[in-house]
Structure formats: structure tokens, C-alpha cells
Amino acid sequence: MCLKCGKFAPFLFLAAGDRCCGECQERNKYFRMLSFPQAQTISHPDMHELKKLTAFKTIPGVYKMHVVKKSPRRMKLLHREAVLKRGKEKEAELDAARRSRYESMIKAGIRTSQIEYRRMPWPDSDDDLELAGDPDINKTREFIGMGVIKLPHMRPDNTLEYGHSCKGCEWEYLQYESDRVLYDMSLSGQKEYLVTYALRGRGLCAWPRDEFLKHVEECYGAQQLLSSI
């Protein structure tokens, strides 16, 4: 099951060895890979600190919408979560040093009217979910899908379960994107970008065979496609 949402997870995130579903792979920041310059923008560690982390080399090709161009040198990427963790550890070290200096000045009787010890704030890494409409300030979406491979589950009968995505859900999403035709009335009345976000999310999902067959019976888009065969 997916580490973040508990849904069926046909993918394995190699940087951490965790399973993920298609939706979390695209939307949850935990499953993001960053270039070295990007890593510096979100945690501000120096290059020496970043080089201590495990780096993954890219393979030239197409990953979702991002193209890794062929070049003599393969690009190195870092796991976003590892970058944040190292940044927090480094800040904790600096914070301890600042606290020690501050306490030493107090003990030495140095006037502290203009000196104030403050712990530097740090972004909450638990807030991993990328919500609809979130700006991509640090361009961390650039490498979505990299570091992820398909890894089937083993069924009790020793056969492999790869998961099944629903073309009907994808069809409903494309219908809304092209003509703003909405078939799921539970989403009516919501802002357009939220409807798009929800429909796109369904199109990213996958189900094991038995759950998929139940879903198809209830999916309007799937029924429309089946009726056209």
C-alpha cells in the first residue's frame, strides 16, 4: 500500500524504498527528486553538505513531461526529504552553537540588551501534499516520476498484480479539460481548478483486479467507453 495515502501502490520509490500510488507519486512532495541547485534553494545548505547525501544519476529519456537530454554527463539528483532532513540537522547544530555563545555572554556579564537568542524557523516537512493551485516556487515538479519504478505485488496464488488504471476516469478528465463537460455531479459548484484536480487524481489511481472490476461498474466514463465498443 502507498506510504502516504494507503491506496494500492504499483510503484516503488527507489530513493527511500517506499511504495507509492500514481497520485502521490505526482502530488506528494515526499516522492520528489531535486537537482543540486534546487536543493540549495529549499534548505540553503552548502555544497559540501549536499555532497554527503546519496545522489542518483539520471538515465536520459522521457519522464512524464520532463525530458532528460542526452549529454556526456548524467544529471545527479537528491531525495527532497533527505535534503530537508540534512538542512534541519545542520540548523540544529548552528542553533546549539548560537545558544552556547549567548549563554556564555550572559555568564560573562556582557550586556545583552541588544542581543536576543532566537531559534530560526524551519518549514514543516510533514506538509508534503501539494494542493490544487499550489505555486511551484522552487520548480520541484520538474523531476516528477524520476526515481520511481513499477513493482508488482504478489497475490496469494503466487501471480503478479500490477494494478489497473481506469480509462473511464481518464476520459472524464479529458472531457472536462476540453469541453468543460462534468459528469460527476458531486463536484458541481466547485471552482474549476478544484474539479480538474479531483478528476486528474482519479485518472492517476490504480486498483487491484477485483477492486478495479467493482470500480468499472460504478464509473460513468468506463460505462461510456464500454458501450461504444
Query: 3-state class of 12 per DSSP?
Result: strand
Each residue's pLDDT tens digit, 185-221:
888 888 888 999 999 999 999 999 999 999 999 999 9
**Are 29 and 140 spatial neighbours (Cβ–Cβ below 8 Å)?**
yes
**Are 90 and 53 spatial neighbours (Cβ–Cβ below 8 Å)?**
no
Confidence of residue 126 (pLDDT cuts 50, 70, 90): very low
Q: Is the pLDDT of residue 60 over 80?
A: no
Report how far residue 147's alpha carbon sits from residue 16's, in angstroms, rounded to the nearest whole number.
Answer: 9
Report how far residue 36's alpha carbon sits from residue 82's, in angstroms, rounded to the nearest whole number.
Answer: 12
DSSP character at residue 152: P
Sign of CA dihedral 194, 8, 125, 90: negative
Report how far residue 22's alpha carbon sits from residue 20's, in angstroms, rounded to the nearest whole number.
Answer: 7
Q: What cell was used for 211?
A: 477492486
The whole-number average pLDDT for the span 153-170 is: 94
Q: How far is CA 180 from CA 173, 196, 218, in A?
A: 9, 10, 21
Whole-number CA gyration radius for the chain: 23
Query: 3-state class of 115 per DSSP?
Result: coil
Report how far residue 215's alpha carbon sits from residue 69's, in angstroms, rounded to the nearest whole number.
Answer: 39
Confidence of residue 49 (pLDDT cuts 50, 70, 90): confident
The helix (H) or strand (E) run that includes residue 50 is: helix 47-50
Q: Is the pLDDT of residue 113 over 80?
A: no
